[in-house]
Amino acid sequence: MDPYPWETHHPEGKFRVVVTQTLPGQRWIEILTTADCRIEVCRTQHALDSQSIRAAIGDRCDGAIGQITESWDAAIFDAMKAAGVSAYSNYAVGYNNVDLGAASRAGIPVGNTPGVLTETTAEMAVALTFAAARRVGEAERFLRGGRFAGMRPDLLLGTRLHGKILGIIGAGRIGSAYARMMVQGHGMQVIYHSRSANPGLESFVADYNRFRVSQNLSPVSCHRADSLETLLESADCVSVHTILDESTRHLLDARRLGLMKADAILVNTSRGPVVDEAALVDHCRRHPGFRAGLDVFEHEPDMAAGLAELDNVVIVPHIGSATRWAREGMATLAACNVAGILCGYPLWRQTDILPFLEGNPPQAVPSIVNARELEMLP
């Protein structure tokens, strides 16, 4: 007997689509219904394991939408191929939880949801940056604990970031959006480490610098670091926005954490395993002036021993994209990925995904990460 409750939308639909968790909003349901899909939604709040997903796929299935917290492994894609699945979409921009090689060998397109959560996640990185710098978590606990006896000149002194050096690890969409926010709002100097140069970001900061100079404000700059080590040694605040793969797992280990300034700030809204969490706990214990803001964790939902007890760490439960607009938009894109493949639509060849979020969506598939491997590109 299935241990999880399920609900079905449009039960008479031609295509059977399995969705492993309830998604926010109604637009995604409307899109799949319009594509004549029978939508079966698991009502659990927990990530399904491989066996449960394979059981849900069953003997016949046409499409599926899964979560970043689930491991979509080779066994699942073998089961999907046997069941006749034509499309899968991750409800996330990242896809490190998906065995892309297995999906491609099974001939199954894998969708993701880029573009819709860029500014939303960057805003959370900004929030964590200042929560850590200004000791907001400590201050709230202090106040709620009844310890506030009035303003004191030395009470919970934090760090001023205006004009300081900002290090960006991974200058993609989200990292660049965060950098722009911090440069424009707080006059920070940007140094970034990325697999390739980002001339767009550098040009933006150069243009903004000319405006600042015209207003008699201090200049700002942006350049690519010679190495990750150079960035870590130089930056007052480091924000992580890189992808997770084998080359970035524990990218920030004990050695590299040790290169950072003793009073630096580390923010991570990318993927938990990019940071060696046990090493971070040890580093924060030994350097009480060092601060961190974390939205993601190495072994979610668990945290490394001692992390939750550290006053110099701000922690939130993976809510980087958690605005209604972004999360409903992600559901819409995931549904459009699956519906588009089932309907035989072509790939969307533009970077702007906003047309999918309002009115009648384009007759196209928003984003397939293994399109090249499946020879779907023109």
User: Tens digit of pLDDT for each residue in 337-368?
Assistant: 999 999 999 999 998 999 999 999 999 999 99
C-alpha to C-alpha distance for 202 and 7, rounded to whole angstroms:
49
C-alpha to C-alpha distance for 15 and 33, rounded to whole angstroms:
9
Helix (H, G, I), strand (E, B) or coil at 328: helix
User: Which two three-digit tokens encode residue 329?
Assistant: 């938009």
Average pLDDT over residues 131-153: 97
Helix (H, G, I), strand (E, B) or coil at 49: coil
Judged on CB neighbours under 10 Å (0-12, 13-18, 19+), 266 is buried
Domains of the chain: 6-116+323-357 (3.40.50.720), 118-315 (3.40.50.720)
pLDDT higher than 80, residue 69 = yes
Q: Please report which confidence band the pLDDT of residue 45 belongs to, taking 50, 70 and 90 as the band edges.
A: confident
- Give the per-residue pLDDT at 1: 41
pLDDT higher than 90, residue 378 = no
pLDDT higher than 60, residue 15 = yes
At what angle are helices 74-83 and 50-57 packed, to 10 degrees? 0
- pTM as predicted: 0.90
Of 2-6, 165-169, 267-271, the least confident: 2-6
Closest C-alpha among 72, 168, 71 to residue 122: 168
Asked if 168 and 174 count as a contact pair (C-beta separation under 8 A), the reply is no
Q: Which residues contact 279 (CB under 8 A, 6 or more apart)?
A: 252, 253, 254, 257
Active site residues: 271, 300, 318
The position carrying tokens 């970031």 is: 161
Q: What share of the chain in percent tops pLDDT 90? A: 97
Q: Which residues contact 303 (CB under 8 A, 6 or more apart)?
A: 277, 297, 315
Judged on CB neighbours under 10 Å (0-12, 13-18, 19+), 73 is middle
Q: Please report which confidence band the pLDDT of residue 2 belongs to, taking 50, 70 and 90 as the band edges.
A: low
C-alpha to C-alpha distance for 294 and 291, rounded to whole angstroms:
10
User: Tens digit of pLDDT for each residue in 231-275?
Assistant: 999 999 999 999 999 999 999 999 999 999 999 999 999 999 999
Judged on CB neighbours under 10 Å (0-12, 13-18, 19+), 354 is exposed
Average pLDDT over residues 184-212: 97
Residue 47: C-alpha distances to residues 76, 123, 270, 297 (Å): 14, 26, 19, 15
pLDDT higher than 90, residue 3 = no
Average pLDDT over residues 1-11: 87
C-alpha to C-alpha distance for 343 and 330, rounded to whole angstroms:
20
Of 3-7, 286-290, 296-300, the least confident: 3-7
Mean of per-residue pLDDT scores for the chain = 97
CB atoms closer than 10 angstroms to residue 308: 10
C-alpha to C-alpha distance for 188 and 95, rounded to whole angstroms:
31
What sections of the chain are H helices per DSSP? 27-34, 50-57, 74-83, 100-105, 118-133, 136-144, 173-186, 199-214, 228-234, 254-257, 277-286, 324-343
Average pLDDT over residues 265-294: 98
Angle at 211 between CA 209 and CA 214, to 5 degrees: 110
